[in-house]
Amino acid sequence: MKFRPRQPEEPQIDLVPFIDVLLVILIFLMLTTTYNRFTELQLTLPVANADAARDRPKEIVVAVAADGRYAVDHKPLSARSAEAVADALRATQPAPDTVLIISADAAATHQAVVTAMEAARRLGLTRITFAAQTGAAR
């Protein structure tokens, strides 16, 4: 019995597991990538004169304390009703474009804030904003 020496087989690379791994990596990258669009426009910005007066509408600040007390433009009110807040707002003689800033304590009830908004509605003040602190200032 004569054994012939075998020809060494040429090694082959199995591509199926390689393709599977690349497909998983591709799916992972597609799901975790954040796409941002940056557009560059050539702009010529206007120059502002710092001394010129700014055209700002009148602002009225309504402060709401944690216990439900109100202050309109830093003047405390004795009553806690919507009528009392509306009367105090009316005394400031608001214009139609007046901005009402509600500055409520974090512990104030929702009802106290809604009462201030109701007083603004009774006077026809539609521009309402809320004062807030940044998260770092505690």
What percentage of the chain carries pLDDT values higher than 90? 26
Task: Give me the residue spans of the domains in the chain.
Answer: 59-130
For the record, the structure tokens of 98 come out as 């007046």
pLDDT for position 7: 77
Secondary structure of the chain: what % helix, strand, coil (to 5)? 30, 15, 55
CATH of domain 59-130: 3.30.420.270
Give mean pLDDT, residues 2-16. 80
Over residues 22-81, the pLDDT tens digits come to: 999 999 998 888 776 665 556 566 666 655 556 667 889 999 988 889 999 888 898 889
Look up residue 34 and give its DSSP letter: P
For the record, the structure tokens of 23 come out as 């497909």
- CA separation for the pair 82, 35 (Å, rounded): 49
pTM over 0.85: no
The pLDDT mean for the chain works out to: 82
